[in-house]
């Protein structure tokens, strides 16, 4: 029984994405990165920080892409393909974790605030206003200088900032749903507030929720890349932004185009895949978009 609900849900999601060509494209890319992230340690050809030598025994420094090193090497003679694959895992992990945690915070604040209104709404919304006043990078820099460079602090910093937009939008939607006749009817049936919020209102805003989940994940990937590029990421866990940071500090950014190209393309691909998927959900949340 429980399984059939999950199945129904997944089938419905598949139909939504299937109905939109860009959405399908996004889903394929997402799946591709997902598989790479899962299998990363098994498919990376070399060790992450190993300085490699070519067949003649020379240190393989700044090699162009070739059969031996498909995506070239770094200034330290490290394999870029291996770095890219392992960086995919960290990037996807950060993106997913902070995207999901932030929607969890944002959705709950939006639901409670919109449903109860009054004092609770006032407190939550003023708190959201305060968070709107917090800039991301300075916040991250403070966090890192206090606790040290660690991917979890990057995740926490992203989560703390990013929920604000989803909370606002979801609150507005909940306030409209709350007034519908069927919510009043549910109340007359003796439903508890908890059941009304999560059983009756939430399913009605699900497309919006998924839309903002995709948005939040995309934003997290971008924020993480920006932070890493500026050197605020964990040096032990490489990310795409971190690869660009290494390129920057090596001083070879004008010559080593292959080092620059692949992480950038990956960032663009993953973020646009998420945006395409969110577009597919946006059409469900706002059907007028379809007619254009």
Partner 1 sequence: MNHTLDVKNLKTHYSSEEGKVKAVDGVSFAIGENQVFGLAGESGCGKSTLIRTIMRLIPKSAKVTAERLLFKEHDLLRVSDKFFREKILWQGISLVPQSAMNALNPVYRVGDQCTEAILAHTNVSKAKAVETVVKMFDAVGLQSGLMKAYPHEFSGGMRQRAMLAMSLVLSPELVVMDEPTTGLDVLVQERILRNLKEIRKNTKTSAAILLITHDISVIAGMSDRIGIMYAGKLMETADSMELFNEPYHPYTLGLKNAFPSIKALDRELISIPGSPPNLTHNIPGCLFYERCPFSIDVCRYEKPEEMEVLPNHFVQCHRTEHVMEFRKLAGEKKTWQFSK
Binding site for partner 1 (CB under 8 A): 1, 180-182, 184-192, 195, 199-200, 203-204, 206
Buried b (16+ CB within 10 A) or exposed e, 14-34: eebbeebeebbebbebbeebe
Q: Closest CB to partner 1 among 122 and 129? A: 122
- Nearest approach in angstroms of CB 206 to partner 1 is 8
Q: Around Cβ 255, how many Cβ atoms within 10 Å?
A: 10
- Nearest approach in angstroms of CB 102 to partner 1 is 24
Alpha carbons 172 and 188: distance in angstroms, whole number: 24
How far does CA 58 lie from the centroid of its chain? 40
Q: Closest CB to partner 1 among 1 and 67? A: 1
Q: Closest CB to partner 1 among 36 and 205? A: 205
- Nearest approach in angstroms of CB 49 to partner 1 is 51
Alpha carbons 261 and 264: distance in angstroms, whole number: 5
- Nearest approach in angstroms of CB 211 to partner 1 is 16
Q: What are the distances in angstroms from CA 30 to CA 107, 273, 278? A: 23, 6, 12
Contact criterion met (CB below 8 Å) for 99 and 92:
no
Q: Closest CB to partner 1 among 184 and 255? A: 184
């Amino acid at each position: 029984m429980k399984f059939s609900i999950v199945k129904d849900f997944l089938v419905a999601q598949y139909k939504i994405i299937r109905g939109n060509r860009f959405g399908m494209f996004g889903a394929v890319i997402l799946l591709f990165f997902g598989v790479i992230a899962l299998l990363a340690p098994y498919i990376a050809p070399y060790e992450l920080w190993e300085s490699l030598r070519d067949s003649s025994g020379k240190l393989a420094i700044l090699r162009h892409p070739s059969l031996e090193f498909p995506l070239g090497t770094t200034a330290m003679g490290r394999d870029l393909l291996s770095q890219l694959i392992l960086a995919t895992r960290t990037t996807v992990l950060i993106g997913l974790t902070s995207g999901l945690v932030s929607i969890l915070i944002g959705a709950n604040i939006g639901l409670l605030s919109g449903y109860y209104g009054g004092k609770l709404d006032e407190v939550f919304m003023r708190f959201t206003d305060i968070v709107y006043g917090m800039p991301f990078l300075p916040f991250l820099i403070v966090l890192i200088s206090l606790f040290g460079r660690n991917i979890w602090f990057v995740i926490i910093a992203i989560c703390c900032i990013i929920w604000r937009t989803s909370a606002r939008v979801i609150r507005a939607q909940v306030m409209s749903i709350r007034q519908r006749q069927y919510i009043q009817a549910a109340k007359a049936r003796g439903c508890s507030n908890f059941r009304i919020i999560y059983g009756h209102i939430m399913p009605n805003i699900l497309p919006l929720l998924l839309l903002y989940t995709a948005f939040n994940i995309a934003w997290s990937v971008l924020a993480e890349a920006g932070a890493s590029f500026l050197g605020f990421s964990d040096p032990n866990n490489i990310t795409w932004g971190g690869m660009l940071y290494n390129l920057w500090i090596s001083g070879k950014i004008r010559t080593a185009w292959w080092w620059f190209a692949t992480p950038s393309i990956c960032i663009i691909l993953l973020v646009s895949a998420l945006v395409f998927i969110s577009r597919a959900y946006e059409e469900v949340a706002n059907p007028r978009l379809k007619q254009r």
